[in-house]
Every structure is written in structure tokens, then in C-alpha cells.
Amino acid sequence: MRDNLAHKFSSEILVASQKIIPTIASVSFSVDKNIDNPSNANVIDCVLEYKEITAKKKKEEIPGTEMVEGINSRIINSKYRLENFIVGPSNQLVHAAAEAVVRKPGNAYNPLYIYGDVGLGKTHILQATGNAIKERYKDKKVIYTTADRFLSDYIESVKKRTVDRMKEKYQSIDVLIIDDVQFLAGKDATQTVLYNIFNTLYENNKQIILSGDRPPKELTALEPRLQSRFEWGITVDIGIPDFETRLAILQEKARAREFILPQEVAEFIAYNLGANVREIEGVLNQIIAEYELHNTPPTIDNVARRLNKLSITDSLIGNSTKKMAASIKTYEELLDAVAGHFGIEKRHILGDDRKKENMIPRQVAMYLLKNRMNYTYERIGNIFSGRNHSAVLYSCKKLETILKKDQNLFYEINILRDKLGI
């Protein structure tokens, strides 16, 4: 629960808290070790406490969803579409596979297994595929569920002694989508049921689409026969989007909210937030809330402050108002930091072998000593096992040429500089 809150809702909770107490700068989540103690005053019964909300929720019908009786299906969210899934090098295979499945459900890739880290768009592509199939083939029964829900379906049917009915129902659908199958780990009985359902659907050319946080082979807590079936069709991974893709995703999300995000702000966010698209969206939500509540349009400065508050990134690139870290004073500190940053030993930085993994950090260290700490070439030469002035000069110039082409290294050095306050 804690991880879930921290990953999915931290920015929403922060915004909500700030509406009550504007000075709240950040939120963190921890587990109360005393949670089991019934006299613990912090423990509340949500069902009692939020009776009205729970009752209202139950009554609410969600439009546009066909429920198959007895199946604990999650609602397919119609906002997830293949058309608004931004395609880049990190996910184009996944997108192409999904489109192929939509063209020929059950016949193209069966099962389609998608894996990747959280927040990279697995649920989006799964639901978008479900939506597309439903639109194209009106009579096909499409079910999207999470492994969690599948599990609770099973547990419920065991209690009610209706496991056979549950199986029949699942076996009668045309497209079965199960998200986050890693959560079936260790649930042997549930895996057996899924195995049976899988076989029937597969034999009848019904489409199965799955997602997980790792490839089937690495789902070691799953029965081997299930693991191997997951590999029968196509397995594709969804990677971390590159800068252009992140930028396009951000712009698409802003467009969907009809919010105008200045190009430079969008670029700033896309540069500084990397691995998790959900996080990028969270920041956008906050920017929009800020605009709606206080009429403050986003600028690089106020967005940078926001990211700092969320401590999403240690250091921000391209922002002039960033706080400087306490600066380092000695070359020893610099060498330690560069070695630590590149994960090599200090003696390799100081050495003179020509391995690339040592040469680049060595050049970086010289370059920073010269350009940021104002050491002379001679002094740097003395530190680096008595190299002469021109050898150091050559190394510094060499790095400058590399930096013109290698943007990643350039940003990495900036991050390092920020950390060191130089």
C-alpha cells in the first residue's frame, strides 16, 4: 500500500494537502508498526468512516462497460487509446504488436505478453488494445482484469463453491486481458485455474493479452507450465522513453487537458524527469492545479521549485535558480566524486591505461579541475602521475570535442557539477 501510494498518488495527495495547509512542502509515506493494535487511535475503519462514499460508489454505474456476470472485471478506461499512445523507440514494438492483435484477435500473436517497469504504459496499451477490439468487433466479449482481481475472483468462487462456474465464464469470453501477472506469484491454486482457462481460450483461438513487470522466464514464482505458455506468442518489452518521446507524451497529456504548456517548460520537465511517465503526468497535474487555483502559469522557475519540493530529481538541468550544494574545495574530493559517479576506483582515474571506461572519467576529472576549479595544466599534470602540460591540455580539449556530440555525458557532467557545487 505504501509503495502504491507513493508511486501513484503522491502528487495528488500533495496537491490535496496543500489546499488545506499551503505550507506543506512534501509528503512521505510510512507504515505504522503498531497498526495491528486495536487500540491504536490512528487506525480507522474505512467502510464505517466513509459510509456515504462507499455506498455512492457502489451505486454508480460506469457507462460504456459491458460486465460479464460473475467476472470481477475492471472497467476499461476509454481514455486509454492506441491513438493517444505516443510511439517512440522504447515502445514501438509493443505498439505494433498491439495493432496486429487488433487486426486479427486470436490469430496474430497469442498470447501477447508485455513487460516493463512501472509507469511505462503497460496498463495504457493493454486497455487501449481492449478498447480498439471492442470498437472494431462489437460482438466480441472483452475482459480486462488485473491479476489481483482474478485472484479475488477465484477466492470468492472457492468460498461459494462455484469454481467451475467461474472457469466457464472466463472460458466464454473472446479477449482476456490480465494486467500485472507477477502478482500471481506463489498463488498455486489460482495459477492452476488460469492455466485451464488459458488452454481453452488458446485452443479456441481466443486472444489473450498479458502484462508483467518482467519477462515470463523471470517469473520464477509461477508454475513453469504457465511461464512457458506465456511465451507461446510474442513477448515484447516496453522501455524507458527517450527525451523526444517524453516530450511528446507530455504535450499530448497537456493537449488532452486543454492546457497550454509553454514549449520551454515542457522541455524542462521532459529533460529532468525520466524513468516514469506517471511521474511526468503527476507534475503536469500539479501545474494545472496551480494554474486553476492561483492563476499561476508555469515557468521554468516555478516548475523547478516544484520538482525540488517533490525531490523528484537531485539536480535540475537548465534551471538557473537551483540551489548550490556546498562546494567542494580540494582535488581529492573531486577525484573521489568522479570515481564514485562513474563507479570506478580512484587509482584508475589517476592511472594511464587507455580503457574507455577509465579514460572518460579521467578526462572529466581534468576538465573539471581546469574549468571549474581553476587549476593550471601544470598542477593537474602533477596530480596525474606527472603528465606534462600539453598532455593535460590535449585531454581537456578531447573531452570538449566528445561533449559536443555526446549529450548524455554533457548532462551527466552537469549533474555531477551540481552535486559538487562547482
Distance CA 263, CA 251 (A): 9
In 3-state terms, the chain is what percent helix, strand and coil (to 5)? 55, 5, 40
Instruction: Name which of 364, 397, 393 is nearest 377 in CA terms.
Output: 393
Picked from ligand ADP, Mg ion, none, the partner binding residue 216 (CB below 5 to 8 A depending on kind) is none
Is the Cα torsion angle 221, 225, 230, 235 positive or negative in sign?
Answer: positive
Residue ranges in 76-95 that form contacts with ligand ADP under rule CB under 6 A: 84-86, 91
User: Strand pairing of 175-179 and 234-237?
Assistant: unpaired
Which helix H or strand E contains 33, and what residues bound it? none
x/- site string to ligand ADP, residues 387 to 406, per CB under 6 A?
Answer: --------------------
Residue 106 contact, options Mg ion, ligand ADP, none, Cβ 5-8 Å cut-off depending on partner type? none
Q: Which is nearer to ligand ADP, 193 or 250 (CB)?
A: 250
The C-alpha atoms of residue 291 and residue 259 are separated, in whole angstroms, by 10
Task: Identify whether the C-beta of residue 358 lies closer than 8 Å to the C-beta of residue 349.
Answer: yes
Question: Shortest Cβ distance from residue 249 to ligand ADP (Å)?
Answer: 5
Q: Per-residue contact track with ligand ADP, 120 to 139, x per CB under 6 A? A: xxxxx---------------
Any contact of residue 273 with ligand ADP (CB under 6 A)?
no
Total binding residues toward Mg ion, as defined by CB under 5 A: 2
| Binding range to ligand ADP, per CB under 6 A, among 276-284, 296-304, 317-325, 366-374 | 276-284
Min separation Cβ 54 and Mg ion, Å: 24
- First-to-last alpha carbon distance for the chain, in angstroms, is 40
| Residue written as grid cell 478506461 | 77
What residues numbered 98-117 form the site for ligand ADP, per CB under 6 A?
Answer: 116
Cβ burial 47-84 (10 Å sphere, 16+ → b, else e) = eeeeeeeeeeeeeeeeeeeeeeebbbbbebbeebebee
For cell 459491458, the residue is: 66
Binding-site residue total for ligand ADP (CB under 6 A)? 17
Applying the rule CB under 5 A, the residues between 198 and 237 that interact with Mg ion are: none
Residues in region 192-221 near ligand ADP by CB under 6 A: none
The DSSP bridge partners found for residue 177 are: 144, 209
Whole-angstrom distance, CA of residue 231 vs CA of residue 422: 51
Partner from ligand ADP, Mg ion, none contacting 124, C-beta within 5 to 8 A by type: ligand ADP
Helix (H, G, I), strand (E, B) or coil at 197: helix
Residues 231, 81: Cα–Cα separation, whole Å: 25
Q: For the CB of residue 248, give the shortest distance to ligand ADP in the complex, in Å.
A: 8
* 121, interface contact from ligand ADP, Mg ion, none, CB < 5-8 Å by kind: ligand ADP
99 binds, among ligand ADP, Mg ion, none (CB under 5 to 8 A by kind): none
The pattern of x and - marking residues 121 through 160 that bind Mg ion according to CB under 5 A reads -xx-------------------------------------
Find the binding residues for Mg ion in span 88-107 (CB under 5 A).
none
Residues lying near ligand ADP in the complex (CB under 6 A) are found at 84-86, 91, 116, 118-124, 249, 252, 277-278, 281
Residues lying near Mg ion in the complex (CB under 5 A) are found at 122-123
